[in-house]
Structure 1
Amino acid sequence: MDFLQAVVLGVIQGLTEFLPISSSAHLAIFPKFFGWDDPGAAYTAVVQIGTEIAVVLYFWRDIWTIGSGWVRGVFSAQARQLPEWRMGWFVIIGSMPIVLLGLALQDLIDREFRNLWVIGTTLIVLGIVLGIAERVGRKTSKIESLTMRHAILLGLAQAGALVPGVSRSGATISMGLFLGYERAAATRYAFLLAIPAVLGAGIYKLKDIPGGENAYGVGPTIVGTIVSFVVGIAVIHWLLKYVSTRSFAPFVIYRIGLGALVLILVGSGVIAASTTVG
């Protein structure tokens, strides 16, 4: 049964990682709906490696261009005039807030933040924020016009995703819309910005997989990670096509509805607020 659960959670991870609806919230909520143990912060972090590998493969040309351009810029003043050099620094600087805060708040992330009162509330609040950003954002700037100031603000927004329910992509996209970027540009940059943080967190949490913080164990975690990779590839392709012509309004409605449902179920005692493993 653990393997079946791991497959289901892998599908959920693959479906929700890139949509602005919070994969970590879904991995905490849906086990409660099914009567399963919470997989834990370690499982959540490691299974995200699958979806980030999907990002790496999907955007490998962009990553190679930015990475190689940044390396050339280290040794060449001429290369430092190119956009690849600047974009490399934008991703590095933008990744720092979530890395530093993630290390500083590790115990809160693993325990207190994984509470359904918190998750339900953040789903609603950030859903409203995304809705406002969709409404007021100019949506005219392209990713090539990114500045260091904007990269820092986008990185700070991404750091909010340390709280389950916020959504890494949702927070970054919301900030991008507030700053005037096109939906596709904000979404694309959110994908690129997430790579260092998510891969780093997943690799860091690998040490906890055989232990008590993970309810599933090594084998099911590997299965869930593979499933999340396969589903994630399809979701990336679909989302980038979707945001080029349509709004984030359905995700706003979904977030608020799910958050309200969670708070009602917890408040009525149908499900417990705590997501402690075991």
Structure 2
Amino acid sequence: MTLLEIIILAIIQGITEFLPISSSAHLLLPAELLGWVSQGLAFDVAVHVGSLLAVMIYLRKDIIEMTHGFFVHGFSRNQTEQSRLAWSVVIATVPIIIIGFLLKDWIEVNARTALVMAVTTIGFGLLLWYADATAKLQTKLQGMRFSHALIIGCAQILALIPGTSRSGITMTASLMLGFDRESAARFSFLLSIPAILGAGLLSTVDLLQQAEPVDWTALFYGATFSFVSAYLCIYLFLSWISRIGMLPFVIYRLCLGAILLWFVFV
């Protein structure tokens, strides 16, 4: 890849990983529009590392408090707010681990198409609009129950379908459960940590089974630009989401879905 391709793809990954607009659909567009080849497994791992570092550094206070609460109170009857939140992340992550392990290969072969991405981008975009328009926006993150976490975790399974958007479907589920927009986004970002870590580990395992040469310069730039774009994305999204709502992202998804449909049928 050229330096320009590295920068553009890394920025796309960093931004779309956390916005409710589908990273897989966006990474398909450069190949369709510009004829770029696949970035390869090593680059995929690098940009995931950049995104993971960004969300962990931004949410470092929450992570430290949750980790402390989990190990101190997580196995006692006297659960704290932070230990319950840590358990909620664990509970919400289990469903996608199980289903992802069972269906990963089938999805890669049968569902990673422009048509599937177009349909899911539009369909789940409309569902996000409905959830946001009808949301009560009353429950804070501190009110997260284990039943809420399980429902959100089951919804996250849908993110295995390309074009759905992991952040989009988890925010949609949270809004439908009555959480306010910032709490829905923050829990989605917390859930992204094990999700990105798992995806990165799977890509690393696949990478180790190949004998391709590694371009360390490309990986460094990929991780760096992914980190910077992801960090700025998280900061701006959490700062603005309570005011602007989800409608701008819904409109964007509808436009993106229309473009993907154009590629399919034209």
Shift of 1:111: 3.0
Per the alignment, residue 30 of structure 1 pairs with 30
Per the alignment, residue 147 of structure 1 pairs with 145
- Among residues 233, 236, 251, which one is paired with 2:234 in the alignment? 236
1:66 equivalent to 2:71? Answer no
Q: How far does the alpha carbon of each residue in 1:101-128 deviate from its partner, in whole angstroms, 9 at most, with x for none?
A: 2211121333322210111111000110
Contact 1:49 1:225 in 2 (8 A): yes
Q: How far does the alpha carbon of each residue in 1:74-113 deviate from its partner, in whole angstroms, 9 at most, with x for none?
A: 56x37x3311121111110100111112211121333322
Larger mean CA deviation between 204-213 and 243-252 belongs to: 204-213
Per the alignment, residue 83 of structure 1 pairs with 81
Which consecutive residues of structure 1, in runs of 5 or more, have no partner in the other structure? 269-278
- Among residues 77, 83, 105, which one is paired with 2:103 in the alignment? 105
Contact 1:42 1:213 in 2 (8 A): no
Per the alignment, residue 174 of structure 1 pairs with 172
1:186, 1:41 → 2: CA distance? 31
Shift of 1:216: 8.7
Code of the residue aligned with 1:27 in structure 2: it is L
Shift of 1:41: 7.1
What is the CA RMSD across the aligned residues, in angstroms?
Answer: 2.3
Shift of 1:30: 2.5
2:106, 2:7 → 1: CA distance? 27
Q: Name the SS of the counterpart of 1:20 in structure 2.
A: coil
Give the TM-score taking structure 1 as reference length: 0.88
1:105, 1:203 → 2: CA distance? 17
Code of the residue aligned with 1:83 in structure 2: it is E
- Among residues 126, 129, 132, which one is paired with 2:127 in the alignment? 129
1:101, 1:17 → 2: CA distance? 20
1:206 equivalent to 2:204? Answer yes
1:145, 1:213 → 2: CA distance? 49
Aligned residue pairs total: 266
Larger mean CA deviation between 43-52 and 115-124 belongs to: 43-52
Q: How far does the alpha carbon of each residue in 1:132-151 deviate from its partner, in whole angstroms, 9 at most, with x for none?
A: 00111111110111111110
Larger mean CA deviation between 31-40 and 227-236 belongs to: 31-40
Q: Name the SS of the counterpart of 2:110 in structure 1.
A: coil
Tell me: CA distance 1:89–1:175, structure 2 relative to 1, closer, same or farther (3 Å). same
Contact 1:27 1:44 in 2 (8 A): no
Per the alignment, residue 275 of structure 1 pairs with none
Q: How far does the alpha carbon of each residue in 1:142-172 deviate from its partner, in whole angstroms, 9 at most, with x for none?
A: 0111111110011111221111211111000
Per the alignment, residue 47 of structure 2 pairs with 47
Shift of 1:222: 4.1
Shift of 1:223: 2.6
1:251, 1:191 → 2: CA distance? 17
